[in-house]
Amino acid sequence: MKIKQSGAAIGLVAVGALLLSACGSDNNTGAQGTSSSMANLSVECGGKATLSAEGSSAQKNAMDIFAKDFQAKCQGQKIAYTKSGSGKGISQFTAKQIDFGGTDSPLSKEKGEVDKAAQRCEGNPAWNLPLVFGPVALAYNVPNLNNLVLNGELAAKVFSGQITKWNDPAIAAANPGASLPDKKIVVIYRSDESGTTENFQTYLKTAAPQAWTKGGGKKFTGGVGEGKESSDGVSSATKSTDGAITYVEWSFAKNAKLGIAKVDTGAGAVELTSASAAKAIDGAQVKGTGNDLVLDLNSIYGTKAAGAYPLLLATYEVVCSKGYDADTAKALKAFLTVAANASASELEAAGYVALPETFKKKLTTAVSAIA
């Protein structure tokens, strides 16, 4: 995989087994709830007993995995993570109420978040560290339709009301031989502000700029459908509504046993899997400099690579590069190192994609530089 940052190639997402993290003391090796591979990786535990964090709900299930590993490997230490939304995560971080913030979008200079974060960090820049990657599914409920293919243009037209029937000729052309019902398409969207909505609309704008003219942001702007709050809400509504379609994190679509559309970026239909999500990250651009690892997701959403599933949500941990007290810095570095080495199989079961060794090294280099 090739991620470009100042001419250097780094990887982002991978499948396959990964090393699990561990804290380095002999007392922690083989702690209950950890694997032998985690015990073989040294992490310097210690410092603050309880870290505090808040923000993105999209990464909450991954945070639960990280918290379990951290508590098992760094005995006597834990993290308290509150899912309250990306905006709250950033505001609580800049107000110095938490140790780090979780967000679906990096700090915004235009909104003054970069300057506020630097002030919170004692005059030092804050870094955006992408730690959690989760695919977004185009999930649907159409009985006996088990192999639906959509592309960016079709998705844009469905979610803006330009296509209203499942047997529309445009959908039929992308699904030759499929039994498409003469049934109304019911769009289900997030009624609350959501990073998932923001990323989905960015995908539509990138993949089908002529078909999606509705704008973007964390509020759904398609102008059609029924709004439901939270990922649970849209997946439940889709499950109970014949003919419904939504966009939702992979884990919610799987848990609700919804149909998941394959996506054709121009090189053939691609099923959503860990491998296809990883493939979409090949060639993605990193816009940040140094240890500020801000991603250019447009280069993912617009991919034409064969076998690549382009709809991916990346969430960041916003941390101070410097400015922490020694105990907080030590504990934060231990936690983030543990999190970066989380189990690939556990993350996949929760609907996420694990970090590969190449990007993990880049991330842990940044983590090690926190002071």
**E strands, the chain, where?**
3-5, 8-10, 50-55, 78-83, 100-103, 126-141, 149-151, 186-190, 226-228, 244-249, 259-260, 262-264, 269-270, 285-286, 295-296, 312-320
Instruction: Tell me what pLDDT residue 299 has.
Output: 81
Q: Regarding predicted confidence, which is higher, 314 or 222? A: 222
Q: Tens of pLDDT along 317-328?
A: 999 999 999 999
Relative to beta strand 78-83, strand 226-228 is unpaired
Q: What is the DSSP string of 271-314?
A: ---HHHHHHHTTT-EE-S-TT---EETHHHHT---TT----EEE
Backbone phi, then psi, for 3, in 5-degree steps?
Answer: -115, 130
Q: Regarding predicted confidence, which is higher, 165 or 280? A: 165
**Length of the chain, in residues:** 371
Q: How far apart are the C-alpha atoms of 101 and 89, rounded to whole Å? A: 5
Instruction: Tell me what pLDDT residue 211 has.
Output: 98
Mean pLDDT of 77-89: 93
pTM of the model: 0.78
Task: Please provide the average confidence, as pLDDT, over all residues in the chain.
Answer: 88
Q: Tens of pLDDT along 19-57?
A: 333 333 333 333 344 544 466 768 899 999 999 999 988
In the predicted model, is pLDDT for residue 16 greater than 60?
no
Mean pLDDT of 131-155: 96
Q: Tens of pLDDT along 98-139?
A: 999 999 889 999 999 999 999 999 999 999 999 998 999 999
In the predicted model, is pLDDT for residue 14 greater than 70?
no
Could you give the angle at which helices 326-340 and 357-368 cross, rounded to 10 degrees? Answer: 180
With a pLDDT cut of 90, the percent of the chain lying above it is 68
Q: Give the number of other Cβ atoms within 10 Å of residue 27's Cβ.
A: 10
Residue 108, classified by CB atoms within 10 Å of its CB into exposed (0-12), middle (13-18) or buried (19+), is exposed
Instruction: Tell me what pLDDT residue 283 has.
Output: 60
CB 113 within 8 A of CB 90: yes
Cα separation values, 323 from 98, 110, 115, 336, Å: 13, 23, 14, 17
Instruction: Tell me what pLDDT residue 39 has.
Output: 67
Backbone phi, then psi, for 172, in 5-degree steps?
Answer: -60, -40
Q: Which of 14, 19, 22, 17 is nearest to 42 (CA)?
A: 22
Cα separation values, 187 from 147, 159, 163, 226, Å: 19, 6, 11, 6
Instruction: Tell me what pLDDT residue 128 has.
Output: 98
Domains, the chain, ordered by start: 3-134+314-368 (3.40.190.10), 135-276 (3.40.190.10)
Q: Tens of pLDDT along 219-272?
A: 999 999 999 998 899 999 999 999 999 999 998 999 999 999 999 999 999 999
Instruction: Tell me what pLDDT residue 27 has.
Output: 37
If DSSP codes are grouped into helix, strand and coil, which group holds residue 333?
A: helix
Q: Tens of pLDDT along 163-203?
A: 999 999 999 999 999 999 999 999 999 999 888 898 999 99
In the predicted model, is pLDDT for residue 64 greater than 50?
yes
